[in-house]
Amino acid sequence: MASTSLTDQAKYAVKEGLIHKIKQAVITVALAVSVENKSGDEALDRLRLALATTVLRDPDRWARIMVYGIVTDGRIKSNSADKDYTDVISDLWNPYAGANPNLS
């Protein structure tokens, strides 16, 4: 949902259907991150893997955490495909992991 209103974004972020879809997408991305090849940046890899492990242990919690970043990102719309969700989550993975590859 691309909205310029923060109120509209917040209302959209608490919709149960959206949260369920995000939970599945977050699990999908976490599984992919958990088996990805090393990037050459050990600190970055460690942070990304730590988040993947944490997400897989409590995907409900992380879907509710990440939904706000996903909605704020603005690329998700009511008719977005599954790949759109996983693409946005993949792009937001480093910030949620506390990783900034530009600092390495």
Kindly state the tokens that stand for 57: 């242990």
CB 45 within 8 A of CB 38: yes
The ranges assigned to domains in the chain are 20-99
Q: Is the pLDDT score of 11 beyond 80?
A: yes
Q: What is the 3-state secondary structure (H, E, C) of the chain?
A: CCCCCHHHHHHHHCCHHHHHHHHHHHHHHHHHHHCCCCCCCHHHHHHHHHHHHHHHHCHHHHHHHHHHHHHHHCCCCCCCCHHHHHHHHHHHHHHHHCCCHHHC
So what's the pLDDT on residue 31?
Answer: 98
pTM for this structure? Answer: 0.87
Q: To the nearest whole number, what is the mean pLDDT of the chain?
A: 90
Please state, in angstroms and rounded to a whole number, the distance separating the CA atoms of residues 19 and 40: 33
Mean pLDDT of 30-47: 92
**pLDDT tops 90 at residue 24:** yes
State how far the Cα of 55 lies from the Cα of 23, in Å rounded to an integer. 9
Cβ distance 19 to 64 under 8 Å? yes
